[in-house]
């Protein structure tokens, strides 16, 4: 049996699954990250141990996804922008491993989602694909010949930090004009608040009763569908900028498939994916792009949790010397 956890800024999803890739039990707990890594990891270990005990089986391996930069090879979190500084260079894998009694493997959550999509989602049967995870930030993962591209630290695939506008807004990473600053959740919400405050989004205004902090990408998509054409325009504009990022990656890698996941992509829905597809057709002109499929996530908010299962299974297979076509 295998365990998986997707640690988020607010909530943490926990699961145990069979080696055949069947989810056996799941539970969502609050992260309560202000309590620091010791407390958070104790709670996670207790939850996983309880889920495992409920199945009466021993854990073989445990995949853990974290929102930020982690050292895959040393099992340490390096920089998690949405969690307190106590996580800097913290030995997450060792601590969890001691508490659950099996090897623990640590990966950035977007890379883990890409692995989930590869094994259990849109990527089944696909050799080369790129996964964009569009949420507050924009993360990603690159898969070539069914192998997740890791690079040093497991940090390859940071496709949300491509420069799309050289003199664009300052990004959390320190660069300017990263895709994430232009098409991530806060960029959309900023546009929604601005339009609402300036009287250009009456439907959105009604939905949130004029309250800026209730504006979300999902409500913006609903307002656009209900007739707020300016909101629709801004959502499409952001999606087209996302489309530039997608086009660049297609130009470099010519993958079979691009998957658009993450809560913002899911909330905005067809409006987003259609605009991305249009932009790609306009931008990638040097080679035929009609066979590059661009699809929404099949696993949605559970992609990373599934990815943790895949990660755990893959590492156990590798450790036991089994031929792993799907290595990591």
Which chain residues interact with its own copies by CB under 8 A? 69, 128, 142, 144-145, 147, 149, 151-153, 155-159, 161-166, 171, 173-175, 241, 244, 247-249, 251-255, 282-288, 291
How far apart are CB 136 and its own copies at their closest, in Å?
A: 15
- Count of other CB atoms within 10 angstroms of residue 13: 20
Using CB atoms within 10 Å of the CB of residue 313, give its burial: 0 to 12 exposed, 13 to 18 middle, 19+ buried: buried
**Cα torsion angle, 152, 157, 160, 162, sign:** positive
- Shortest Cβ distance from residue 170 to its own copies (Å)? 11
Contact criterion met (CB below 8 Å) for 61 and 105: yes
Report the residue number, 103 or 160, with the smaller CB distance to its own copies: 160
Helix (H) / strand (E) element for 94: namely helix 92-100
d(C-alpha 293, C-alpha 246), whole Å: 11
Residue 138: CB minimum distance to its own copies, A: 11
Minimum separation from the CB atom of position 97 to its own copies (A):
24
Question: Closest approach of Cβ 299 to its own copies, in Å?
Answer: 22
- Which CB sits closer to its own copies, 124 or 285? 285
Q: How far is the CB of 139 from its own copies (least distance, A)?
A: 10
Angle between helices 303-319 and 109-120 (to 10 degrees): 80
Q: How far apart are CA 120 and CA 63, in angstroms?
A: 15
The residue (of 9 and 269) whose beta carbon lies closer to its own copies is 9
How far, in Å, are 117, 253, 281 from residue 248 at the CA level?
Answer: 21, 9, 12
Please identify, using beta-carbon distances, which residue of 145 and 213 lies nearer to its own copies: 145
Nearer to its own copies, 204 or 260 (CB): 260
Task: Identify which of residues 143 and 235 has a Cβ nearer to its own copies in the complex.
Answer: 143
Residue 116, number of CB atoms within 10 A of its CB: 31
């Amino acid at each position: 049996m295998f365990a998986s956890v997707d640690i988020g800024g607010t909530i943490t999803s926990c699961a145990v699954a069979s080696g055949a890739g069947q989810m056996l039990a799941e539970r969502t707990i609050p992260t309560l990250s202000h309590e620091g890594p010791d407390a958070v990891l104790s709670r996670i270990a207790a939850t996983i141990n309880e889920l495992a005990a409920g199945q009466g089986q021993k854990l073989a391996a445990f995949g853990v996804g974290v929102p930020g930069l982690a050292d895959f090879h040393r099992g340490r979190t390096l920089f998690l922008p949405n969690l307190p500084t106590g996580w800097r260079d913290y030995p997450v894998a060792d601590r969890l491993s001691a508490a659950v009694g099996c090897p623990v493997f640590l990966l950035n959550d977007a890379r883990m989602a890409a692995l989930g999509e590869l094994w259990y989602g849109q990527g089944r049967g696909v050799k080369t694909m790129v996964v964009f995870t569009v949420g507050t930030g924009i993360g990603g993962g690159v898969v070539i010949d069914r192998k997740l591209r890791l690079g040093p630290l497991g940090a390859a695939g940071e496709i949300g930090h491509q420069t799309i506008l050289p003199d664009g807004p300052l990004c959390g990473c320190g660069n300017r004009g990263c895709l994430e600053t232009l098409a991530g959740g806060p960029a959309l919400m900023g546009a929604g608040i601005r339009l609402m405050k300036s009287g250009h989004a009456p439907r959105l205004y009604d939905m949130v009763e004029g309250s800026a902090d209730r504006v979300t990408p999902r409500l913006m998509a609903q307002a656009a569908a209900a007739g707020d054409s300016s909101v629709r325009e801004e959502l499409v504009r952001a999606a087209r900028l996302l489309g530039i990022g997608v086009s660049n990656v297609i130009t470099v890698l010519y993958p079979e498939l691009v998957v658009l996941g993450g809560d913002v992509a899911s909330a905005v829905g067809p409006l987003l994916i259609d605009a991305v597809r249009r932009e790609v057709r306009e931008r990638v002109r040097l080679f035929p792009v009609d066979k590059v499929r661009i699809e929404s996530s099949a696993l949605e908010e559970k992609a990373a949790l599934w990815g943790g299962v895949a990660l755990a299974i893959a590492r156990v297979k590798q450790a036991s010397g089994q031929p792993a076509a799907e290595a990591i």
